[in-house]
């Protein structure tokens, strides 16, 4: 018996002492988690960097039963345990490892996290372990029991771990791997930093055996002002009572669930409508059993009529900006209301009423803060560039991310557009993949608009033509263009546009790079003057587009990207922000502000 087997058996004995082998079930994400009875597991977590996944595979690359998830401790002096979480350093959760441990700035691989927490064993209630997001590939164990495996770095997931919790000290261990893969979503290359880690909240959620899993409350239509409410329980149980209370609208309803545990109702109401000028939110109480869920919900309608975009029945122009989910200063994943408030305040100062949250679902704090600040939102899943269109698992992954994005934010009045992709190469396989996704999104939510960021396909003799088979699946035709930066510098004034679709048009990206404080001639790359001039020329050019209903220039703030390596200028930042990574406003900021102030 060789040395590895001896060690493994030792570890096994120790491991099994600690753990059973029962598998937990992943349960559908619980909506409005912050309104539930929660215990935060945020804070300092021990971590172990495991480049070769020693903690998960044996030396034959087979998953081992005596991995780091056993959290084994030597029982006798001669015991060999080659890891110890409690001696390992700690980092803050939620957070990314790239900006918390200098050794991990560029690191893409596996890191193990461990957190001990106290629990008083619930009586008949259930305990769900909730993750706001973990980038990218995540495995979870509670007291040595494997809870589950999740992929996708930007959407929530939760496990019912009740059966494994014990009175007193409990341990959760999370294996996080952010390695990029061709079949993943996003795929291998993308122009943002691959921040690894447990990037959003970790919560223990206390729920009754039967609880409200999710609900939707919307203004059904402008005509006759009807609200439609539907609620889904975690159990397919008929005859359960659910109450809906909207005190300010004097609405007090009791619904009874059907055999699927679902109840719906439509009711007359005359709410003030949510809009950027008046981001009115109503206190809503949803009761089931002993539990009441409080929420704040706004009511509005969004629709298209030909090339017009109508908010609450009135034409609207979307004065937008694109934003990555990065802290306002110095990089790192943003993950709280304060981060969002700072970024959105800059957008407000720009004169924006709309933000494109690129290229993945941002955290719920940001969405809710935008809603309170009267900021309309475009929310997107990371089907970015060359996705593996024919891979069934890739499609299932994309569909899962779309489901989780919509299920988390379906009650946010400020979200008006679900985007299913960005800059994807044309092919029949792509069309099928994205066509299915678009129809699926519509089946989940028929009250919002579907779009995607397309690319200009034909450009010659200053004639730019947008031709994309996906036009028939989207409500709003959006495209990215980089005239003045990646092509046709100083030719913007000569450009003409042909967009042969009777739908509103959003220019979802345009822009150019500038290093804050670098000044020079307007044809000198990287100067603020070059970027300023590019904005002046692009805005004049885009104004001529028939059906232009909005834009989200690329981008609010310089953001980290491993693709931006020009020393002294980029230094691993994409410099297309109109604000620098230190919050300094570039000249282009004021060009865009002036243009928006006039609209």
* Binding to ligand GCU, residues 428-487 (CB under 6 A): 480
Backbone angles phi, psi at 325, to 5 degrees: -85, 70
Q: How many CB atoms lie within 10 A of CB 562?
A: 15
Binding mask 304-343 for ligand GCU (x = CB under 6 A): ----------------------------------------
Q: How far is the CB of 519 from ligand GCU (least distance, A)?
A: 22
Query: 41, 210, 235: which is closest to 132 by C-alpha?
Result: 41
Q: Strand, helix or coil at 434?
A: helix
Q: How far is the CB of 6 from ligand GCU (least distance, A)?
A: 51
Q: How far is the CB of 500 from ligand GCU (least distance, A)?
A: 22
Binding mask 534-573 for ligand GCU (x = CB under 6 A): --------------------x-------------------
- Indicate the residue among 33 and 452 with the shorter CB distance to ligand GCU: 452
E-strand spans in 222-270? 226-233, 241-246, 251-256, 262-268
- Residue for token pair 């060009």: 591
Query: 250, 246, 226: which is closest to 294 by C-alpha?
Result: 246
- Indicate the residue among 293 and 434 with the shorter CB distance to ligand GCU: 434
Q: Binding of ligand GCU at residue 576 (CB under 6 A)? A: yes
The region, left, alpha or beta by phi > 0 then psi within -120 to 50, assigned to residue 379 is beta
- Indicate the residue among 464 and 480 with the shorter CB distance to ligand GCU: 480
8 A C-beta contact, residue 397 and residue 442: no
- Indicate the residue among 257 and 422 with the shorter CB distance to ligand GCU: 422
8 A C-beta contact, residue 76 and residue 119: no
- Indicate the residue among 234 and 478 with the shorter CB distance to ligand GCU: 478
Q: Which of 509, 528, 529, 558 binds ligand GCU (CB under 6 A)?
A: 509
Binding mask 170-209 for ligand GCU (x = CB under 6 A): ---------------------x------------------
E-strand spans in 85-156? 90-93, 110-119, 126-131, 137-142, 145-151
- Indicate the residue among 55 and 511 with the shorter CB distance to ligand GCU: 511
8 A C-beta contact, residue 570 and residue 564: yes
Q: How far is the CB of 226 from ligand GCU (least distance, A)?
A: 39
Sign of the torsion formed by the C-alpha atoms of 528, 534, 540 and 543? negative
User: Which residue's Cβ has the minimum distance to ligand GCU?
Assistant: 191
- Residue for token pair 């230094």: 571
8 A C-beta contact, residue 424 and residue 185: no
- Indicate the residue among 222 and 569 with the shorter CB distance to ligand GCU: 569
Kindly report the CA angle at 476 between 474 and 477, in degrees rounded to 5? 90
- Indicate the residue among 468 and 509 with the shorter CB distance to ligand GCU: 509
* Binding to ligand GCU, residues 222-281 (CB under 6 A): none
Tokens of 502: 């009777």
Binding site for ligand GCU (CB under 6 A): 191, 359, 422-423, 480, 509, 554, 574, 576
């Amino acid at each position: 018996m060789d040395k590895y087997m001896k060690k493994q058996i030792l570890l096994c004995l120790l491991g099994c002492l600690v753990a059973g082998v029962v598998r937990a079930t992943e349960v559908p994400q619980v909506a409005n988690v912050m309104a539930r009875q929660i215990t935060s597991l945020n804070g300092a977590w021990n971590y172990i960097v495991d480049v070769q996944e020693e903690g998960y595979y044996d030396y034959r690359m087979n998953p081992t039963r005596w991995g780091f998830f056993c959290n084994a401790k030597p029982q006798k002096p001669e015991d060999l345990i080659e890891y110890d979480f409690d001696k390992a350093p700690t980092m803050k959760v939620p957070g990314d490892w790239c900006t918390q441990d200098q050794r991990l700035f560029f690191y893409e691989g596996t890191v193990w996290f461990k957190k001990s927490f106290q629990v008083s064993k619930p009586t008949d209630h259930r305990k769900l372990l909730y993750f706001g997001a973990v980038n990218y590939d995540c495995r979870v164990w509670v007291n040595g029991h494997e809870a589950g495996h999740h992929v996708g770095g930007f959407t929530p997931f939760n496990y019912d771990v009740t059966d494994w919790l014990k009175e007193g000290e409990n341990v959760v261990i999370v294996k996080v791997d952010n390695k990029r893969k061709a079949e993943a979503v996003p795929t291998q290359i993308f122009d943002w930093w691959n921040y690894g880690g447990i990037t959003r909240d970790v919560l223990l959620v206390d729920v009754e055996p039967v609880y409200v899993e999710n609900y939707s409350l919307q203004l059904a239509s402008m005509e006759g002002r009807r609200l439609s409410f539907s609620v889904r329980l975690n159990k397919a149980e008929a005859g359960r009572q659910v109450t809906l209370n909207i005190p300010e609208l004097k609405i007090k309803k009791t619904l009874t669930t059907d055999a699927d545990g679902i109840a719906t109702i439509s009711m007359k109401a005359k709410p003030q409508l949510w809009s950027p000028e008046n981001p009115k939110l109503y206190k809503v109480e949803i009761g089931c059993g002993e539990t009441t869920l409080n929420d704040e919900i706004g009511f509005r309608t969004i629709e298209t009529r030909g090339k017009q975009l109508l908010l609450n029945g009135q034409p609207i122009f979307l004065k937008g900006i694109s934003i990555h989910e990065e802290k306002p200063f110095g990089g790192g994943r943003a993950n709280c209301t304060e981060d969002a408030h700072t970024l959105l305040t800059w957008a407000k100062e720009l004169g924006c009423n709309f933000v494109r949250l690129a290229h993945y679902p941002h955290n719920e704090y940001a969405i809710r803060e935008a809603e309170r600040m009267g900021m309309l939102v475009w929310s997107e899943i990371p089907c970015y560039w060359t996705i593996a269109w024919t891979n069934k698992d890739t499609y299932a992954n994309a569909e899962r991310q779309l489901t989780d994005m919509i299920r988390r934010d379906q009650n946010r009045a400020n979200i008006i557009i679900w985007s299913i992709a960005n800059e994807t190469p044309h092919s029949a396989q792509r069309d099928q993949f994205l066509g299915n996704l678009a129809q699926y999104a519509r089946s989940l939510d028929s009250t919002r608009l579907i779009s995607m960021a397309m690319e200009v396909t034909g450009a010659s003799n200053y004639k730019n033509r947008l031709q994309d088979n996906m036009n028939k699946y989207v409500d709003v035709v959006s495209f990215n263009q980089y005239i003045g930066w990646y092509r046709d510098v100083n030719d913007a004034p000569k450009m003409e546009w042909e967009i042969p679709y009777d739908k509103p048009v959003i220019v979802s990206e345009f822009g150019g790079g500038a290093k804050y404080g670098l000044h020079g001639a307007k044809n000198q790359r990287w100067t603020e003057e070059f970027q300023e001039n590019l904005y002046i020329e692009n805005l004049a050019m885009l104004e001529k587009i028939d059906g232009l209903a909005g834009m989200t220039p690329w981008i609010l703030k310089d953001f980290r990207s491993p693709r931006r390596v020009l020393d002294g200028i980029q230094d691993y930042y994409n410099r297309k922000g109109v604000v620098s990574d230190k919050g300094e406003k570039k000249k282009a900021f004021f060009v865009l502000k002036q243009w928006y102030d006039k609209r």
